[in-house]
Chain A
Amino acid sequence: MLIKVPKASQCSENQVTDEAIYLKRRQLLKQMGFIGAGALLAGSPGAHAINLFGDDDETAFNTRKLTYSQQDSAQTLTPESKVISHNNFYEFGTDKTDPKENAQGLKVDPWQLRVDGLVEKPFTLGFEDLFSSFELQERIYRLRCVEAWSMVIPWIGIPLQSLLKRAAPLSKGKYVAFETLYDPEQMPGQRNPFIGGGIDYPYVEGLRLDEAMHPLTILAVGLYGKSLPPQNGAPVRLVVPWKYGFKSIKSIVSIRLVEKQPPTSWNLLAANEYGFYANVNPNVDHPRWSQARERRITKGGLFSSNRIDTQLFNGYDEVAPLYRGMDLKRFY
């Protein structure tokens, strides 16, 4: 008999409400003409405009169903409606609700993802290649934002490892530099610093090569069984579950092997607050707030927000050897 002993960080059983049921319920309520006072008053959190005619079910962007190998999980997933409506993607605005509002027109097909730099075999993936060149896997990961909230998200993606191996890194390549699409015409935050929060665009990120090669690191092309919506970084984004969310760069066009530690966007903006490593660490506070705890975003309102202890490396202990001997207070 095969006895599977799951790692502490792994999840064991799926508890999520089927999306079809979720959608049916909303549809049913609508068909019944049931619009309670709450529905009438539902507006965007910051604006407080009373939105009588808005319908947040329909978005212009077309996602597609994906085929992938599935993972079981015991963790309660963050509802899809929150995963796709609570986003930091400053290219489309600094409010959490801005990306969903402003990104629906993003053109992702055609797309070009270049893998080059210090590699033997540089290559480029087109839009279709992202979904067909590698086997897609589901990975249910905790995502911990540096702002001390977290989600549990069923990503679908490719281990970054497989991609890099195909390019055959040269021994001189020690770091991996990532870059987001630069297209000010499509991304209002890139043409206007007031919308984009004053970040210098294009957004750049980086990993050490061993971090990038770690089996937990994936390039996600989907979530909740479908391809990514633009606010979550369509068509392809990085997911490094033991690091703060801002490391998980979105809408990637370039992956480059380099010799020296590459610059990263938030580190350039405020080096004392956002380090290169950005490993989730309850013992190293952000200068303006504690990182010891986090708020898990689940379904339910004000009273159901779960406040939980933050774990070192977001609970993914298997990455600890990558940092053996490093002072994580200095290399935060």
Chain B
Amino acid sequence: MVSRIHFRPWQILGLKLLIHSLCIGWAGITYYQAVTDQLGGDPVKAILHFTGISAFNLLLMSLCMSPLAKYFRQAQFIRFRRLLGLYAFFYAVLHLLSYLLFELQLEWGMLISEIIKRPYITVGMSAWLILLALSITSTQAMQRKLGRRWQRLHNWIYLAACLIALHYIWSVKSDIVQPALYIAMLAVLLGLRKDKLLKPLQGIWRKISTRA
């Protein structure tokens, strides 16, 4: 039997402040290092890798919140989910901006042709757009306005997570150990939700089998 965890209000506030300062501080320090040439031979690559991985880390963390809430029977965990998700998007924005500013040096034509021509960039960009839509609709006002459709929309996060994993493994040259670990983590987190994820498929299956 797992004991119930209960956060006091100041603890929740403290944890949120910690998340804020870690997410902003870490990015700040890393960009400072990159600008002052302390990130190794190729600061552009280092920044792209850092922001990409951080976005994925935060997304996986946000996906941990509802399993944790269930396991500890404590709904308070959900209160961190939006914050982590938004910071995942924050890093995804930094990732895209850095790519545009430092890798492509604002060649918009190149951005468009790369999005079309390179499958892994197409995939990454699609994931980015999903995260954008979810971030815009993350407020409580939007949640009320969209009603039941809100949940349906936000289930797209699972697709986004898979696209990000694909984007990651596709982008590496030969060293697939780290992306493979990430995919394993994602598989576990999706596995915990298999009933939810399989439900629409079961519906389709039922339709097919009754018709047959």
| Contact present for A270 and B174 (CB under 8 Å) | yes
Query: Would you give 5 A-B contacts (Cβ < 8 Å), ordered by A?
Result: A48-B30, A290-B114, A301-B35, A301-B37, A302-B47
Nearest CB of B to A187, in Å: 16
| Contact present for A38 and B173 (CB under 8 Å) | no
Q: Given A82-B41, A97-B40, is A45 in contact with B170 using a C-beta cutoff of 8 Å? A: no
Is B130 in the interface zone, CB < 8 Å from A? no
Chain A 267-305 interface mask (CB, 8 Å, partner B; 1/0): 001100000000000000100111001010101111111
Question: How long is the Cα–Cα vector from A304 to B41 in the complex, in angstroms?
Answer: 12
Is B171 in the interface zone, CB < 8 Å from A? yes
Is B175 in the interface zone, CB < 8 Å from A? yes
| Residues in A lying within 8 Å of B, measured CB to CB | 38, 41-46, 48, 82, 85-86, 90, 94, 96-97, 147, 149, 194, 197-199, 269-270, 285, 288-290, 293, 295, 297, 299-305, 307
Question: How long is the Cα–Cα vector from A44 to B113 in the complex, in angstroms?
Answer: 33
Nearest CB of B to A165, in Å: 36
| Contact present for A41 and B29 (CB under 8 Å) | yes
Query: Which of B30, B37, B118, B170 sits near A299, CB closer than 8 Å?
Result: B37
| Contact present for B40 and A41 (CB under 8 Å) | no
- With a CB–CB cut-off of 8 A, which chain B residues contact A293? 110
Indicate the member of B44, B110, B170 with the most A CB atoms within 10 Å: B44
Is B112 in the interface zone, CB < 8 Å from A? no
Q: Given A94-B175, A197-B175, A269-B174, is A302 in contact with B38 using a C-beta cutoff of 8 Å? A: no
Q: Given A41-B29, A197-B174, A290-B114, is A96 in contact with B42 using a C-beta cutoff of 8 Å? A: yes
Query: Which of B29, B40, B173, B175 sits near A86, CB closer than 8 Å?
Result: B40
- With a CB–CB cut-off of 8 A, which chain B residues contact A295? 42, 44, 103
- With a CB–CB cut-off of 8 A, which chain A residues contact B40? 44-45, 85-86, 96-97
B interface bracket (residues with beta carbon within 8 Å of A)? 35 or more
Number of interchain pairs (Cβ within 8 Å): 96
Question: How long is the Cα–Cα vector from A149 to B44 in the complex, in angstroms?
Answer: 10
Is B71 in the interface zone, CB < 8 Å from A? no
Indicate the member of B104, B174, B176 with the most A CB atoms within 10 Å: B174
Interface of B is mostly: helix
- In chain B, positions 82-129 with a C-beta closer than 8 Å to chain A are 102-105, 110, 113-114, 117-120
| Contact present for B41 and A194 (CB under 8 Å) | no
| Contact present for A301 and B30 (CB under 8 Å) | no
- With a CB–CB cut-off of 8 A, which chain A residues contact B173? 94, 147, 197
| Residues in B lying within 8 Å of A, measured CB to CB | 29-47, 49-50, 102-105, 110, 113-114, 117-120, 170-171, 173-177
- With a CB–CB cut-off of 8 A, which chain A residues contact B32? 38, 41
Closest residue on chain A to residue B34 by CB atoms: A302
| Contact present for B174 and A301 (CB under 8 Å) | no
| Contact present for A86 and B41 (CB under 8 Å) | yes
Nearest CB of A to B27, in Å: 12
| Contact present for A96 and B41 (CB under 8 Å) | yes
| Contact present for A288 and B171 (CB under 8 Å) | yes
Closest residue on chain A to residue B47 by CB atoms: A302
Q: Given A197-B174, A270-B174, is A45 in contact with B36 using a C-beta cutoff of 8 Å? A: no
Query: Which of B43, B110, B120 sits near A302, CB closer than 8 Å?
Result: B43
Q: Which 8 A-B pairs have the closest CB atoms?
A: A86-B41, A301-B37, A45-B46, A94-B175, A45-B40, A302-B34, A197-B174, A82-B41
List 7 additional A-B contacts (Cβ < 8 Å) besides A269-B174, A290-B117: A41-B29, A41-B38, A44-B40, A86-B42, A94-B173, A96-B45, A288-B170
- With a CB–CB cut-off of 8 A, which chain A residues contact B119? 288
Question: How long is the Cα–Cα vector from A303 to B106 in the complex, in angstroms?
Answer: 13
Indicate the member of B30, B42, B171, B176 with the most A CB atoms within 10 Å: B42
Nearest CB of A to B178, in Å: 9
Indicate the member of A290, A293, A301 with the most B CB atoms within 10 Å: A301
